[in-house]
Amino acid sequence: MSEEINHKRLKMETQELENSNIPERYSEQDEEQIETDLHFILSRPSPFGNETGKLPLGEFDPEEELFDFLQNECRALVIGAGGLGCEILKNLALSGFKSINVIDLDTIDVSNLNRQFLFRQKDVGRPKATVAAEFINQRIPGVAVTPHHAKIQDFDEDFYSQFNVVISGLDNIEARRWLNSMLVSLVEMTEDGEISDPSTIIPLIDGGTEGFKGQARVILPRVTSCFECSIETFPPQQKFPLCTIAETPRKPEHCIAYAYIILWEKEFPDKKLDTDSPEDLQWVYNKAVQRAELFGIEGVTYMLTMGVVKNIIPAVASTNAIIAAACCNEAVKLLTYCGQTMNNYMMYMGSSGIYTHTFEYGKKEDCPVCGKVEKILSVSGDMLLKEFIAMLIGNTSLQLTKPSLTTAAQTLYMQKPPSLEELTRPNLEKQLKSLLDDLDVVNITDPVYPQGMGLSVTVKFLT
């Protein structure tokens, strides 16, 4: 009953928003005011120019060309058009950015409408990127937002290299790692590991929120620490043992996992669960409630079901607004040098009062993406290859998902295609010392890295 009441309340709030007196389009006076404010910032000297900060990138020189660049030449890419992405798109458009691209794979669900303000009831079921672009283009004169209803992995190096800045509003760690690796790979380097062409450095501004907490981060590929340098701060995604959810469930999450992993396959063997389908999620929720009642477990809700199935992070509109503002502020400073660049990590803690602090997250010399020092893994030569792969997946500094391994001499194990996986599967039961020599270099590819990229680790046998 509470779920039904919440749904009706959400629908009423959405209708009130749609019937409110929000202008359909900004007037010419509004556009002139935006340009006037931008002119004011970029045309006057400042004692706090970029060169005065702890992460100096260039000297601030007030001139008309800065304004022209931001309005006519600069190309910004926004990743994600959810709660955080909607705020970012709006802020960029109202900060003078005229050419914006946005990538998002999701479609709009009714549960999005209370905080993703670019969407309306009539938009449910449509791609988020498309609707967000239409809203901004219609509302703000002169702004051109180009939508891409796709995965970030669908685009290659040529696509990403055309942008001056990338702002991420993703709630998916794996996608953020992939994006980070892509931008790091675009930086042209000399043979001795130095940056040969600074123009190939595309800043990545990473924003993230979880309830009343959030973070904004400036990543200059090959200059500052990259996203992978801090992967240890993100706990591995929680997974439930199949035996637990099937035989001894103790949490509401176990009941939900049982419904969408086991019961769905029994009910529909030929149909994949659509995590964006309200009907499919309602089915999972109903089955999870039945199982929870059977085992006397409380706490199964529709929102928790969405969270478990879609790995949704709780969102609060005010937190999204604060983090998006910080991200877009950094974008303006990075591209015009009008202010000190954040160095390089800002945390917002709104759960115990409004509190923020900024600190520098240092580079890891053995970072598998941007590090200069080889990574060494010390293991027993008696370890089986399958145990070695499990160790790679569980390693907090690597957190791989489906690693494939090769050496200069042979292919150890490949996750795909199926024919190659079958061919290399027998190696999983072999000891490392029968496959490798001490200090051999193992090349690893994984879905968290773009195609053609990976990492190399030196395997050292324990004596």
Asked if residue 15 has pLDDT above 90, the reply is no
Confidence of residue 31 (pLDDT cuts 50, 70, 90): low
406 forms beta bridges with 411, 443
Closest by CA to 444, choosing from 428, 460, 455, is 455
pLDDT of 11 reads: 54
Instruction: Give catalytic status of residue 86 as yes or no.
Output: no
Q: What is the mean pLDDT of residues 302-323?
A: 83
Asked if residue 13 has pLDDT above 60, the reply is no
The single residue listed with the structure tokens 């529909």 is: 268
pLDDT of 90 reads: 95
Q: What is the mean pLDDT of residues 72-76?
A: 94
Confidence of residue 312 (pLDDT cuts 50, 70, 90): low
DSSP 351: B
pLDDT of 22 reads: 46
Task: Pick the range with the lowest mean pLDDT from 58-62, 100-104, 107-111.
Answer: 107-111
Q: What is the mean pLDDT of residues 377-394?
A: 91
Mean pLDDT, all residues of the chain: 87
Confidence of residue 8 (pLDDT cuts 50, 70, 90): low
pLDDT of 141 reads: 85
φ, ψ of residue 145 in degrees (nearest 5): -100, 125
CA distance 429 to 432: 9
Helices 83-93 and 317-336: crossing angle in degrees, nearest 10, is 40
Task: For residue range 242-287, list pLDDT tens digits in order.
Answer: 667 877 888 898 999 999 889 998 888 888 888 878 899 999 999 9
CA distance 71 to 5: 46
Domains and CATH numbers, the chain: 21-235+314-359 (3.40.50.720), 242-310 (1.10.10.520), 375-445+453-461 (3.10.290.20)
Q: What is the mean pLDDT of residues 183-201?
A: 92
pLDDT of 380 reads: 93
pLDDT of 56 reads: 92
pLDDT of 121 reads: 92
CA distance 412 to 404: 8
Where does residue 459 rank: exposed (0-12), middle (13-18), buried (19+ CB within 10 A)? buried
Q: What is the mean pLDDT of residues 207-220?
A: 92
pTM, rounded to two decimals: 0.80
Asked if residue 25 has pLDDT above 70, the reply is no
Confidence of residue 21 (pLDDT cuts 50, 70, 90): very low
The two tokens of residue 170 are 């993703």
Confidence of residue 238 (pLDDT cuts 50, 70, 90): low
Higher pLDDT, 236 or 375: 375
Confidence of residue 235 (pLDDT cuts 50, 70, 90): low
- In the set 74, 86, 226, 243, the catalytic residue is 243
Asked if residue 165 has pLDDT above 70, the reply is yes
Task: For residue range 105-154, list pLDDT tens digits in order.
Answer: 998 888 788 889 999 999 999 999 999 999 999 998 889 999 999 999 99
